[in-house]
Structure 1
Amino acid sequence: MGFCCHCHHHCWRSIQKYHPVSQLITSSSSEIAATIEQQERTASQQAAAVNETTTTMDELGASSRQSTEQADAAASAAQEVLKLTDSGNHAVQETLEGMEDLQKKVAAIAEQTMRLSEQTNQIGNISQVVTDLANQTNMLALNAAVEAVRAGEQGKGFSVVATEIRKLADQSKQSAERIGGLVSDIQNAINVTVMVTDEGTKTVRSEMEIAQRTAQTFSSVAESINNVVINNQQISLNIRQQNKAVQQVLEAMSSINQGAQETASGLNQTKVGTKQLNEASVELLAII
């Protein structure tokens, strides 16, 4: 009987020794549980933030892809316009070359017309000389006829010759006058041709100036469009780089999300283990 009491007392003292330890375990497991719950909330917030960031980055990636497509389309359209501008510039250059040839031809016609005018003037001068000579010859023949009449029978033959000379002089005068009339008509026609040629030269020069300004405009437009093409290509390149960076961020966020899920899983397992430990501590305290 005494031995049993002694053993019971000894066991009770041993159990009493574990009572503070059990309380400490219970308290620690509660603190751990609270900490784990806080970590779970933090992990949940992080997961939500990661998901929200991932969604935002997805939207940014979609926007970047759309911007890339639009920039590529704009660059393609600008290149088409640039081709059309080059074609227009080429056509204007061909027009300029044609106008330059036309200007040379008009200048050659003007030069030939001026030479023809000079030659016509010379013909008119010669015709006037012939007319003057015919008048002088007529006067001389008339004087010769008068002298032949005075000479009587001896001057009859000479009178006939003088009469024929007068007839020839009159014919020469009439021919010279007709030539003068024709020369005058030719000169008038030449003057009209000169005026028309001058107008044509002015028109060609004006059209050439317009074509040159048009060519300069085409060149300026082509340069501007080329700058647009270069800028669009640079924008497209920048957007592609941005899209690549977005993809890298998405991959990093995916890794973070996976790590957060693994952390949440580990916290859940720890929470379960802590709960079991807490329950065991409570049971132990109840026994003690």
Structure 2
Amino acid sequence: MELDPATAITRRAEERREERKEAKRPRAGKAAITVNLQGALKKLRAAIDSVENVAQNMAAAVEELSASAEEISTSVQQIAQGAQNISSRSAEISKIVNELMKAMQSAAEVSRKSGEEAKKAAEEARRSAEDGKKGIESLQQVESRVEETAGLVKELADRVKNIGRIVEAITSIADQTNLLALNAAIEAARAGEHGRGVAVVAEEIRKLAEESRNSAGQIAEIVREIQEQMSRVSESMESTLNRMRTGSKVIMAALEALETLYKNAEEVAESAMNVARLVQEESNKVKSIEAMTSEAAAAAEEQAAAVEQVSSAVEEQTAAIQELNATAQQLLDVVQDAQSALRDLRRFVGGGEIEKQRR
């Protein structure tokens, strides 16, 4: 059974005391005593050297272990601090991600409502565009009717002009008839009694011509008034047509703009809905990140707890190493005492103390 260094040194010291006692006892001869003592001294020296080497190696190893333990303790503390920082940062990140997720959900809701409102606006614009198209069709029909009426008015004006020319012809005929009646009356007056009947007829013809002329004049006045009114009507209708054409162009432009607005509103509604879907998808991703962050925080807390346990174990190991270091130092002290005793014993053997005691 191998003994520990301290026990071995103690046993060697006891053997040395026994050897001293034996040295005091009478022996067969000086040579035998000297040989025995020298052999014992060599063995004791070898044992002390072995113990010293063991003690020095143990002290060096303990010193290295102590330095390593301190480094490990420092590293463990740093790891623990890092784990605590990770846990704290993870909690902050989880809070920020949670707020971000709420903001994204709000944005998704706003985008969804905006999409619905834009869709309603697009539907209203579509209905307005359809109503506008119906209105422009009705306006075009009215414009066509007005154009037809204007054509009829123009045709009527042309006929009225013909009536005027006819009236002028009637007036001219009445004037000529009146002149012929006047000439007939003159000839009847020259004929005397024989021309009295002709004179009466000529007078009647003159009166009829005069009445015809007066009637033609009245008709001409009426025709003139009709022409003036028809001219005003024609101008009014032409102005109305121009305004209707301008209004049609404006309405058409408005309808085109309304149709563009309708298409844009549809695109906006679709884009808003797409944004809402994308934001919802990103919100789900952020929610997953928040869950992973929470898991990371929990893992960091568990790691911090584990590191604390490791730190406690390292502290216990450091304390044990310090005790071992103290033991190694005590062992070196024992070795030094043994070396001192060995030097004394050598002087005792070399100085002839044994021989003196024998005498």
Q: TM-score range by the shorter chain?
A: 0.7 to 0.9
Q: Tell me the alpha carbon deviations over residues 26-69 of structure 1, each in whole angstroms, 9 at most, x when there is no partner.
A: 74665544443332122112212222222222222122222222
Matches of 1:9 and 1:198, distance apart in 2:
134
Per-residue CA deviations over 1:79-119 (Å, capped at 9, x if unaligned) read: 33333433443343333223222222221221111111111
Residue 43 of structure 1 pairs with residue 83 of structure 2: yes
Which amino acid counterpart does residue 98 of structure 1 have in structure 2? S
- What is the alpha-carbon distance in structure 1 between the residues aligned to residue 190 and residue 153 of structure 2? 55
Contact kept in structure 1, 2:73 and 2:315, CA below 8 Å: yes
The residue number in structure 2 matching 1:4 is none
Distance 1:272 1:8, change over 3 A: closer
- Size of the alignment, in residue pairs? 282
Q: CA deviation at 1:76?
A: 3.0
Report the CA distance shift for 1:283/1:9 in structure 2 as closer, same or farther (over 3 A).
Answer: closer
Which residues of 2 match residues 222-237 of structure 1 at below 5 A? Answer: 222-237=262-277
C-alpha spacing 1:135/1:9, structure 2 compared with 1 (3 Å): closer
Distance 2:9 2:87 in 1: 48
- Superposed, 1:81-230 pairs within 5 Å as 81-230=121-270
Structure 2 counterpart of 1:13: 8
What is the Cα-based RMSD across aligned positions, in Å? 3.4
| C-alpha distance in structure 1 between counterparts of 2:298 and 2:63, whole Å | 35
Structure-2 change in CA distance of 1:146 and 1:273 (3 Å): same
The residue identity in structure 2 corresponding to 1:12 is T
* Cα 1:76–1:13 shift into 2, 3 Å: farther
Question: 2:94 and 2:140 mapped to 1: Cα distance?
Answer: 67
1:110-157, Cα deviation, whole Å (9 max, x unpaired): 111111111111111111111111222222222223333333443333
Q: Is the 8 A contact 1:25 1:278 kept in 2?
A: no
Residues 10 and 117 of structure 1, relative CA distance in 2, 3 Å threshold: closer
> Cα distance, 1:281 vs. partner?
5.9
Distance, in Å, in 2 between the alignment partners of 1:181 and 1:11 is 160
Letter in 1 for 2:77: E
Aligned to 2:44: none
In structure 2, what is the equivalent of residue 3 of structure 1?
none
- Matched position secondary structure for 2:137: helix
Of 194-203 and 261-270, more deviation after overlay is shown by: 261-270
What's the TM-score, normalizing by structure 1?
A: 0.81
* Runs (5+) with no aligned partner, structure 2: 11-50, 329-359
Stretches of structure 1 that go unaligned for 5 or more consecutive residues are 1-6
Cα distance in 1 for residues equivalent to 2:208 and 2:243 = 51
Q: Distance in 2 between matches of 1:9 and 1:132?
A: 169
Given residue 86 of structure 2, which amino acid in structure 1 is its aligned partner? Answer: Q
Deviation at 1:214, TM superposition (A): 2.1
1:240/1:8 CA distance change after superposition, 3 Å: closer
CA distance in 1, matches of 2:268, 2:128: 18
Contact 1:134 1:173 in 2 (8 A): yes
Q: What is the aligned counterpart of 2:290 among 226, 232, 250?
A: 250
Residues 8, 209 of structure 1: alpha-carbon distance in 2 compared, 3 angstrom cutoff: closer
Contact 1:138–1:165, Cα closer than 8 Å, also in 2 = yes
Q: What amino acid maps onto 1:124 in structure 2?
A: G
> Quick one: structure 1 residues 175 and 142, their matched pair in 2 at CA, closer, same or farther if it must change by over 3 Å?
same
Greater shift, 252-261 or 177-186, is seen at 252-261
Is residue 105 of structure 2 the alignment partner of residue 65 of structure 1? Answer: yes
Hey, what's the Cα distance between the residues in 2 that align with 1:53 and 1:73?
30
Structure label with greater radius of gyration = 2
SS in 1 for 2:133: helix
Q: Percent identity?
A: 23
Q: Deviation of residue 25 (structure 1)?
A: 11
Helix, strand or coil at the partner of 2:214? helix
User: Where in structure 2 are the equivalents of 1:19-38 lying within 5 Å?
Assistant: 20=58, 23=62, 27=66, 32-38=72-78
Counterpart contact for 1:58–1:250, Cα < 8 Å:
yes
In structure 2, what is the Cα distance between the partners aligned to 1:8 and 1:166? 182
2:7 maps to a residue whose letter is W
Conserved? CA contact 1:130–1:172, under 8 Å:
yes
